[in-house]
Chain A
Amino acid sequence: MAQLPPLENAPINLIGLRKEAQLDLVEALDSMRGRKLLVLDPKLSGPLTLIVQISLLKEHGVENLSHLSGDPIQSDCTNVIYIVRPHLTLMKLIAAQIQHDKRNQQERQYSLYFMPRRSTACEKVLEAEGVHGGITFGEYRMFPIPFDDDVLSLEHELVLKELQVDGDPTSLWDLALTINNLQSRFGLIPNVKGKGDAAKKVFSIMKKMQEEQALTTPEGQPEIDTLILLDRQVDLVTPMCSQLTYEGLVDEFLNINNGCVELDPAILGGDKKVKVPLNSSDKLYRDLRDLNFGVVGGILREKAASMKQDYTDVKTTNQEFSDLKKFVKKMHALPEMTRHIDISQYLTTFTRKRSFMSRLIMEQTLVEGQEYDICYEYIEEMINKQEPLISVLRLLVILSVTNNGLQKKHFDYFRRELLQSYGWENLFFINDLERAGLLRKQESKSNWLTLKRGLRLVVSDTDDSNPKDISYAFSGYAPLSIRLVQHALHASGWRGIEDMMKLLPGATFEERQGSQQQRRSSFSHRPPSLTNLTTGHQRMPSANNLTDLANNVDGRRALVLVVFIGGVTFAEISALRFLSSQESMKHDVIVLTTKLCNGTSFLQSLQTNPLGG
């Protein structure tokens, strides 16, 4: 069982946030007396391990834990609690399990918790299956899951698909609710900036919710100063590029899931798979994660050398006890050290490959936007060699997005090639990519070159070991999304780059949330609404709220909450951390996203399985 990420160093009280999530879960568990079986949506169990530890579940009578599947329940517990996302397919599975019990005259009590909310459609399915009556329903509120001191995620991987393909905005409501909950904890965020239609929508839902139901904020100065909402649609290029930070590469090749990476025995030695938590509790990792991978090897070597030096010092000279103590402390870091040496060694087996290098060159050529012919040829050859569909698509998507679509001739050609090589069933996949704006037919001229120049997206003289710009995270390409954040935090804000903002898709807005709403709120009563059912905590409305939320007079670093709607990559987070560490920056950054992803998982979330639905 993985440890929970320690959150002591978080700029806001994230431990409290997690506590509350734990309490809510415990409340759900205690709603049933006695021993019980907890059945989890397989998609949720990972994120939940970041909130609670198994021992806590046991304390509250959870006898067994299982994943929801097509098999009947194997347990003698008479109480069953389901915690699932409101998806129709899952309802069918639950119904099947209950029906199986009925046939076998197995009497059980069932309760079903939806995360984050009840869905009528789901209940209708259960009704149709004739099991609705036997279930007690509840909701397990959506919490942003703290992954680290500065990273929160809803871990909702289908946001992009629901939003862009199915046109279902539910996830935006969930996100808005989450941000409002954060505001009720940490104060109304005075400055709000956003780019992209989804961002605009989230903000308007937030405001609407505040009007419908008083948002009560704690007294005192708000802890978060600025909120930046970014729609992933604004920057689809960055997630497609290969991440070149240490953490990013680990994710690209080994897949970081729920803050953990599963390592093969081949990497670490030993004989079974090991799950290694990757967060800032590992001090060495904290130093390494955001660096360009190119320099990680050197730093590890340096650290190892200094340790060796210490070792010889200890052996040869007489040392004070305090020195010895220091040395022993350092030795404690040894297992982490070997682990990271092993991991980076393993990564170099990939990064040294010719195919990896040529891929990087290709990505670079694409974002440079000068010579597309080579890229067409390269991608064509990849298809011919039947390289994995997703890695072909990642390049093709960059090509399409930077070009504002492919020319009809190429578009049809590539679609045909893809179908013929990877099978006809991908027709739906390609169709969905098209709807999500990732792969499409060119309709007008692209403005990528203007953007590239205006926002300095390609920086030629990057020194990876001593970076001066966020472009280090991709060895030359400055991620568009983070460049926007950088400008937003600049004194002139986005007004300074108005021309550029106009070229990017979706609405742009910069607003201030005043105290006026709050004054109104203190008199309005709370109408019974969805959140009221779910929220456990309610604060007394504070009548005399701050009127002046303007500047931080006390010289404290302002805190910025950056929200990525539709997912964010590790390299982007690294770039943000880099930004906030720059001297000229007076901001600390917290990231909230719907999903931590990389290009591959990003595209996979769109890949529908026609068989499984």
Chain B
Amino acid sequence: LLLWEAWAQSKNPVTRQGSPLQGPRIRLIEEAQRLFSHSKEHDFEAKACDEQARLLKIQQELEAKTGKAIFVDTSVSDTIRTCIVLKNHREAQRIRVEFKVPDKRFYWLKVLALAYIKDWDALEKF
């Protein structure tokens, strides 16, 4: 069991050594997830890997859409915030649902992001 984990761990850093090609990276993370899911104990890790793979895919799409290379390698929260800052509320909502972000955190992110771009009207409405 530990071996599996160690192997997956050593693999993951390799994947992180950021080539701009996200494709192989995602595949490696999915591989790690598969390894983690071999045992019940690493349930959590498996889920985390799964989420990360999905997140990377979404971030890739976002970068393609916005033409800005600022999404990859940021966290779920960061991504939501960036979306709101860019006034892309629809995407923010989508990520919120996709990753089951708790309401509280989402609202905090939204408030902080809106304050950051000084969008007081939106802040008022919300």
Contacts and interface: CB of A to CB of B under 8 A. Distances in A.
Contacts of A613: 13
Interface stretch (A182-190, A418-426, A451-459, A529-537): A418-426
Given A380-B104, A384-B109, A417-B105, A423 B73 contact: yes
B17 A611 contact: yes
A114 to B, nearest CB: 26
Nearest to A428: B9
Nearest to A411: B44
Nearest to A421: B77
A577 interface: no
B77 A420 contact: yes
Interface string B3-22: 00000010011001100000
A232 to B, nearest CB: 24
Main secondary structure of the interface of B (DSSP, over half): helix
Interface string B26-47: 0000000000000000001100
Contact of B16 (A380, A386, A425): A425
Interface string A424-439: 1101100100000000
B12 A610 contact: yes
Contacts of A385: 108, 112
Interface in B93-125: 99, 101-102, 104-105, 108-109, 112
A416 B99 CA distance: 10
Q: For chain B, give the interface size range.
A: 20 to 34
A508 to B, nearest CB: 30
B55 interface: yes
B104 A423 contact: no
Given A610-B13, A611-B13, A420 B75 contact: yes
B1 to A, nearest CB: 14
A450 B55 CA distance: 45
A514 to B, nearest CB: 43
Interface in A441-469: none
A132 interface: no
B44 A424 contact: no
B91 interface: no
A384 B17 contact: no
A421 B108 CA distance: 12
Contacts of B13: 610-611, 613
Contacts of A427: 45, 48
A71 interface: no
Interface in A362-418: 380-381, 383-386, 412, 415-417
B51 A424 contact: yes
Given A424-B52, A427-B45, A428-B9, A419 B75 contact: yes
Contacts of B52: 424
Contacts of B48: 415-416, 419, 424, 427
A417 B102 CA distance: 9
A581 B114 CA distance: 55
User: Which of B12, B75, B112 has the most chain A CB atoms inside 10 A of its CB?
Assistant: B75
A613 B9 CA distance: 12
A420 B105 CA distance: 10
A611 B55 CA distance: 20
Contacts of B109: 384
B76 interface: yes
B66 interface: no
A611 B73 CA distance: 13
Contacts of A428: 9, 12
Given A384-B105, A610-B12, A611-B16, A423 B112 contact: no
Nearest to A420: B76
B74 interface: yes
15 contacts: A380-B104, A384-B105, A385-B112, A386-B112, A415-B48, A417-B105, A420-B76, A420-B105, A421-B77, A424-B52, A427-B45, A428-B9, A431-B45, A610-B16, A613-B13
List the 5 closest pairs (A to B, CB-CB), nearest first. A420-B76, A384-B108, A610-B13, A424-B52, A423-B75
